[in-house]
Amino acid sequence: MSSESETVDEVLARDLGSLQQLSEAQLEGLMQLVIGFLIDSKGSGFQEKLGVYSETHGLGGSALKSMVRASLLFLQRGVRAGWVAGQVASACVGMGLNEECAGTISRCWAQQSSNLTSTLLSKIVSANQLMDVDWSFGVTAASDDSDQVGKTFLQMRLTVEQGSGPRDLHMELSLEQFYHFMAQMEKAKAYLDFVAA
């Protein structure tokens, strides 16, 4: 950062502003590279592709580095927020980019949005993969609260695979909470089936 008083958004807006110096073809090529990197987060060949881009368009050094960094940060924000092309264009204009530049970025986004969404979902699903479920029903036989006596409940243990290994999550749900939980799980399954198709 050039000064301590500058906020992250101000630095991001300044660095994104330098994208306006590129021609439409240069900007489109750069956006395809950056969006491709977001889709393939292993970055296979990203440095090489960026080197070819730099040589082809006569760009390099710190200017290209700051454009790529700002583009990555900005588009990652969009991925996390679930932006559609129109929201990308609005956010670009909000960052001070002109309409032409915003239109090019949102067009590139629209072309790759389904791939970005699939990649994001696969990362989330693989990071918290459900391995096992144990459950048992019970009925409250005695309690300090007489309204709770005779109520049905469900105890669940979910074993989830996380980056650091399996983790057990324990829950106790009332019958109403269980039905709500099941409805949410069915919605999630339907959504994943839709996205995976």
17-63 residue pLDDT tens: 989 999 999 999 999 999 888 888 676 788 888 888 888 888 877 88
pLDDT of residue 2: 47
Q: Which residue has the higher pLDDT, 147 or 87?
A: 87
Provide the 8-state DSSP code for 6: S
State pLDDT tens for residues 82-95. Answer: 788 889 999 999 99
Q: Which residue has the higher pLDDT, 1 or 177?
A: 177
As given in the structure block, the two tokens for residue 90 are 């609005």
**Residues contacting residue 97 through CB under 8 Å, at least 6 positions apart:** 16, 17, 19, 20, 105
Lowest mean pLDDT among 5-9, 43-47, 79-83: 5-9
**One-letter amino acid identity for 8?**
V
Q: Measured between alpha carbons, how far is 155 from 178 in angstroms, rounded to an integer?
A: 10
Torsion of CA 38, 43, 44, 46, to 10 degrees: 90
pTM above 0.75, yes or no: no
Identify the three-state secondary structure at position 164.
coil
pLDDT of residue 117: 72
- Beta-bridge mates of residue 169: 158
**Residues contacting residue 91 through CB under 8 Å, at least 6 positions apart:** 74, 77, 78, 83
Q: How many CB atoms lie within 10 A of CB 104?
A: 23
* Residues 35/112, Cβ–Cβ less than 8 Å: yes
Lowest mean pLDDT among 110-119, 148-157, 180-189: 110-119
Query: Span 101-113, mean pLDDT?
Result: 91
pLDDT of residue 104: 93
**Helix, strand counts (H, E) of the chain:** 7, 3
User: Exposed, middle or buried, 190 (CB in 10 Å: 0-12/13-18/19+)?
Assistant: exposed
Q: Measured between alpha carbons, how far is 80 from 27 in angstroms, rounded to an integer?
A: 22
1-10, 36-45, 118-127, 166-175 — most confident range: 166-175
pLDDT bin (cut points 50, 70, 90) of residue 180 is: confident
